[in-house]
Amino acid sequence: MLTILTLAGMVEKIGSSAAESFAVFYEQYLPKVYRYINYRIADVQTAEDLTSAVFEKALSKFKSYDRRKAGFSTWIFTIARNTVIDHFRSSRQSQTVGLEAVAENPSPHISPEDEADRAEEIQLLNLCVAQLSDPEKEIISLKFGAEMTNRQISAVLSLTESNVGVILYRAVRKLRDGFRGRQNG
Amino acid sequence: MGKVYEAEKVFSGQLDRALAGQAVQIDVDAQDDLRTALEFSRRMVDLRPDPRWQFQTVLKVNLIQKLKEQEASQPSGRPWFLKILPREPIWQIAAVLAVMVVVGGVLWGTVFRAGTPEVVNAPTKPLATTAASPTQLPAATVPQSTAAPQPQIAAAPAATAAPALPFTSIYTAPANQYLAADGSNDKAVYLRGEPVRINVSWKNLTSQQISIQEFPPIVSLMEASDGQPVYTFSAGQTGRTISPGENAIFTFIWDQRNSQGNLVSPGRYYLELEEMYYNGQAVKMNLSRPVSFEISKTY
């Protein structure tokens, strides 16, 4: 049985029913963590493996999380970010961009033709994201994947909030221009 | 430079709205650069990938299993006498002070005053409502007007009447755990148009009564593909008091129609409980088991 909790209170309760609390945490953060990673690594299988790794790390550290030191969102995305950095360090793989992300997760309300168009757009977008600088990629991932506010991103990346806003705006305009260019070219 | 800064601020604000599922408000006078950046970012929001359903389920099961193994292999963290103490240091200090005041009061009443004749009559009001108060003064010195602070149950309706908090409780601890919600539905796949029956129960986990002002609370049916609500059941008009350990059960019957009265599209849907409030604080309700189901294409 799952208990009602505020997010901040969830960790407080962890001592008495960790499984239930973790389930709440999982439901809330899995899509965001996955999307964050998928923005950094377009390969679906790798993104899933890294998402699993993030949650396993979070699970092992869950009891030691101190909400007075960092917000929950900041905490989990710091783990996610470090996991992605470790992956790049160890594999040195170039990012791959595949259509399987969409093909394996089709929307029930979209026709196959529209689905193919969508897949193509996602692929194009991934290619454009890959062209951004590292800080831009990071901010795009935290914004669109993790759905963080500029203030939260500034806490994770140790930047000022206004700096995050400037980089974000610039990155989206680059993506827009790159996307248009590739669509027309 | 100022214009760029303004544009970046507007952009960030509107993007946060888009990410929260709200409509993006683009000023007709906005610069073309800003407008197209916002339109593109809205498209990016739509193109975000979702984790595969199977991946989510398998990972969740694995993680819960690991967590249970961890719990089983570890001895209980805190000894029983520490478990009754709150975790926050400030509350721990308050609890220790409260115990000291109560013990001091008892000692003062029984040891130091033993053998001396009673000067003042015992209070006429029962002390039950004040007994738990750590700051209670000895009965003989308490003025009548302040002898009995109002119990929480009496204060609750007045305090919560104004901004319509749907959830009040006499549970006074700084707790974040009051009710456990559970849900189930009768079938995994429904024909199109077939009524969907969903049972939701709210169990009182506390040792005192909980009063939900509007029962049942608000629940929504969400479309799994985009996480958007398709139909919301309004809160009930009457209150419901749930005794300790009791399960309050309500059956929702959904005719597969959205809030405009149209049949929803075939696909996967799930139930979500709206936030409830305690002392003005939002408390998100979550189901222990996700209630999700499929609506088939066939009638």
Question: Between these two residues, B158 and B7, which has the higher pLDDT value?
Answer: B7
Cis omega (within 30 of 0) for bond into B149: no
Report the pLDDT value the prediction gives residue A175, as an integer from 0 to 100.
95
pTM value?
Answer: 0.50
- Please compute, for residue B6, the number of CA atoms within 13 A of its CA located in the half-sphere on the CB side: 5
Report the pLDDT value the prediction gives residue A84, as an integer from 0 to 100.
92
Distance, CA of B281 to CA of B26 (rounded, Å): 33
Q: Is B218 touching A (CB cutoff 8 A)?
A: no
pLDDT band at A167 (very low <50, low <70, confident <90, very high): very high
Nearest to B67 among A59, A109, A122 (CB): A59
Residues of chain B in contact with residue A15, where contact means CB-CB under 8 angstroms, are 77-78, 83, 87
Q: Is B96 touching A (CB cutoff 8 A)?
A: no
Distance, CA of B69 to CA of A105 (rounded, Å): 32
Looking at the domain that runs over B159-295, which CATH code has it been given? 2.60.40.2360
Contact between chains at A12 and B176 (C-beta distance less than 8 A):
yes
E strands of A4-152, at which residues? none
CB pairs under 8 A between A and B: 169
pLDDT band at B18 (very low <50, low <70, confident <90, very high): confident
Name, in order, each residue with C-beta under 8 angstroms of A148's C-beta and a sequence gap of 6 or more. Answer: A73, A77, A142, A156
Nearest to B283 among A6, A105, A122 (CB): A6
Structure token pair of residue B273:
């409980």
Q: Is B297 touching A (CB cutoff 8 A)?
A: no
Domain range summary for chain A, segments of one domain joined by +: 10-94, 110-185
Contact between chains at B15 and A145 (C-beta distance less than 8 A):
no
Fold of A110-185: Arc Repressor Mutant, subunit A (1.10.10)
User: Other CB atoms closer than 10 Å to residue B64's CB: what's the count?
Assistant: 17
Residues of chain A in contact with residue B36, where contact means CB-CB under 8 angstroms, are 176
pLDDT tens string A43-56: 889 999 999 999 99
Question: Between these two residues, B151 and B272, which has the higher pLDDT value?
Answer: B272
pLDDT band at A128 (very low <50, low <70, confident <90, very high): very high
pLDDT tens string A32-90: 999 999 999 888 899 999 999 999 998 888 767 666 666 677 888 889 999 999 998 88
By CA distance, what is B295's nearest residue in A? A108
The pLDDT of B252-258, averaged and rounded, is: 90
Q: Where in chain B is the domain with CATH 2.60.40.2360?
A: 159-295
**Measured CA distances, A149 to A41, A164, B17 (Å):** 22, 10, 11
ipTM of this complex prediction, to 2 decimal places: 0.78
Report the pLDDT value the prediction gives residue B140, as an integer from 0 to 100.
31
Containing H/E element for B250?
strand B247-254
CATH 1.10.1740.10 fits A10-94, yes or no: yes
